[in-house]
Chains A and B, each alone.
Chain A
Amino acid sequence: MYVDDAEIRDVIAGHQERNGRVTAILEDLQQRCRYLPEQALRIVAGELGLPLTQLYGVATFFAAFSLEPQGQHLVSVCHGTACHVKGAGRVSESLERELQVAIGKTTGDGQFTLKSVRCLGCCSLAPVVSIDGRAYGRMKPDTVEAVLSDWRGGDRR
């Protein structure tokens, strides 16, 4: 998602709070651009008077931020303790097979980014997969295809 310099400066200006300002700005930019473009980070560092090395350190430290464009849909497979004990590993492998992509990567067509997260907090429904915030509980390796079909081909049906 292309975002121009003016919009980036607007985002920065919209966050005047002192506490957590940097990560709040980065989160906002990540949501709009679907990643943190280099140019955006340079502008943020300049506007906030921060060394670029510090900002780059923050952008690469936190799991929520990505310096590579993310797919249309974020598929998060929970690898929390409960999900692990209930077979999240096998569900994960099945997702990788179905999407033809490794954990942490985005499919070639830019549709899906597959991520491993811990934990989504729905432990009573383990193992859980969340797609764009919608949680699917009690997943099994053979239910992956059906769940993904809801999202394939553009917008969710």
Chain B
Amino acid sequence: MQIDINGRTIPVQAGQTVLDVAREEGIWIPTLCHHQGLEAYGACRLCLVETGSGDRGRIVASCALHVSDGLMVGTDSPRVREIREMIMQLHLAVAPDAPRVRELAQQLGVGQPVLARHGDGQCTLCGICVRVCRQVGANAIGFAFRGSRRQVTAPFGARAAGCLGCRACEESCPTGAIVFSESGGRLFGEHWQSDVPLSRCAVCGRAFAPQPLPGHLQQRYGLEFQQADRCPECRRQQAAASLTAQARYNLSP
């Protein structure tokens, strides 16, 4: 099977998306709501490409477009560039302070924001946090309301009671809108008032592991942890000590 991107013929495999292929080939397509570990969502509209040509051209999200034999794709046509610019302007209106958004705007050559500012300045509602939270099995946060009132929230706008403290949302948020902090042996996620107690290390006493997390990982993924009561630093020290002890009594190189 082969497709054509910007005039270049590329052999592809069934099941790949145009975005996958473009990335492999070093053809840049901007994305924001795309995440390798998650199914295509189609919210940000930045990855749009043109298929077919001229009047028959269709604008499609490349993250969800599966390859088919003979597919013709344009990732940089004038029509695509104009749409991308306006979509970027919409992102700038909603999250002008997010470094990733500013970076994308720069890469796309989109200069001054031309639209009225709207929103809290950080969240673009890409949905990665919600999707990741669902995938991990916590379902602590979700989308509520609709239209321009749509928001990511814990039910009833209250504390995110199901939060495991895994911080996958923080890790994968592309705009840095999600921030967790530790204090007094607890982990706080300000956005959704997550408040998760941390277990303390049996050796040094430092608070380190979100209490609900190991149990959840064990139950959902069957993951067992050796020395789960020790923080990573103490575990490392202990491992180093036992390796050294082994080496001392091991005569062969």
- Measured CB to CB, the residues of A under 8 A from B are 38, 41, 51-57, 60-61, 67
Residues on A with C-beta less than 8 A from B142 are 51, 53-54, 56-57
Contacts A51-B139, A53-B140, A54-B139 hold; do A61 and B155 have CB atoms under 8 A apart?
Answer: no
Q: Is B8 an interface residue (CB 8 A)?
A: no
What A residues does B44 contact at CB under 8 A? none
Tell me the minimal C-beta distance from A40 to chain B in angstroms. 12
Distance between Cα atoms of A55 and B155 in the complex (Å): 9
Among A54, A55, A61, A67, contact of B146 (Cβ-Cβ < 8 Å): A61
Instruction: Find out whether the CB atom of B143 lies under 8 angstroms from the CB atom of A57.
Output: yes
- The 9 lowest CB-CB distance pairs between A and B, nearest first, are A53-B142, A51-B139, A56-B155, A60-B144, A52-B155, A60-B145, A57-B142, A53-B139, A61-B146
What is the minimal beta-carbon distance from A35 to any residue of chain B, in angstroms?
Answer: 13
Are A53 and B141 in contact (CB-based, < 8 A)?
A: yes
Complex-state Cα separation, A57 to B156, whole angstroms = 10
User: Contacts A61-B145, A61-B146 given: A56-B156 contact, CB under 8 Å?
Assistant: yes
Residues of A within 8 A of B144 (CB): 56-57, 60-61
Q: Cβ of A38 and Cβ of B141 under 8 Å apart? A: no
**A55 contacts which chain B residues (CB < 8 A)?**
155
Within 8 A of A (CB), among B66-120: none
**CB–CB B154/A53 < 8 A:** yes
Q: Residue on B with the closest CB to A53? A: B142
Number of interface residues of B (CB under 8 A): 14
Q: Which residues of A contact B155 (CB under 8 A)?
A: 41, 52-53, 55-56
- How far, in whole Å, are A54 and B155 apart by their CA atoms in the complex? 9
Task: List CB contacts (< 8 Å) of B187-234 with chain A.
Answer: none
Alpha-carbon distance between A38 and B159 when the two chains are bound, in angstroms: 14
Q: How far is the CA of A45 from the CA of B143 in the complex (A)?
A: 16
In the assembled complex, the Cα of A52 lies from the Cα of B156 at a distance in Å of 10
User: Which residue on A lies nearest to B139, using beta carbons?
Assistant: A51
Q: How far is the CA of A53 from the CA of B127 in the complex (A)?
A: 14
A41 neighbours in B (Cβ, 8 Å): 155
Which residues of B113-150 have CB atoms within 8 Å of chain A's CB atoms?
130, 134, 139-146
Smallest Cβ distance from B44 to chain A, in angstroms? Answer: 20
Closest residue to B133 on the A side, CB-wise?
A53
Q: Which residues of B contact A56 (CB under 8 A)?
A: 142, 144, 155-156
How far is it, in angstroms, between the C-alpha of A51 and the C-alpha of B130 when the chains are bound? 12
In the complex formed, the residue of A with least CB distance to B155 is A56
Name 12 A/B residue pairs within 8 A (Cβ), A-sorted: A51-B134, A51-B162, A53-B139, A53-B154, A54-B142, A55-B155, A56-B144, A57-B142, A57-B143, A60-B145, A61-B144, A67-B156
**A53-B140, A53-B162, A60-B144 given. 9 additional CB < 8 A pairs?**
A41-B155, A51-B139, A52-B155, A53-B139, A53-B141, A54-B139, A55-B155, A56-B156, A61-B144
Contact B145 A52 (CB under 8 A): no
Q: Which residues of A contact B141 (CB under 8 A)?
A: 53
Q: Using Cβ atoms and an 8 Å threshold, which residues of chain B touch A53?
A: 130, 139-142, 154-155, 162
Question: Which residues on B sit within 8 Å (CB–CB) of A54?
Answer: 139, 142
Q: Note all chain A residues with C-beta closer than 8 A to B140.
A: 53
- Distance between Cα atoms of A55 and B142 in the complex (Å): 10
B160-189 residues at the A interface, CB under 8 angstroms:
162
Tell me, rounded to whole Å, the shortest Cβ–Cβ distance linking B162 to chain A. Answer: 8
Name A56's closest neighbour in chain B (CB-CB).
B155
Once the chains are docked, how many angstroms separate the CA of A54 from the CA of B138?
12
Q: What's the Cα separation between A54 and B144 when bound, in Å?
A: 9
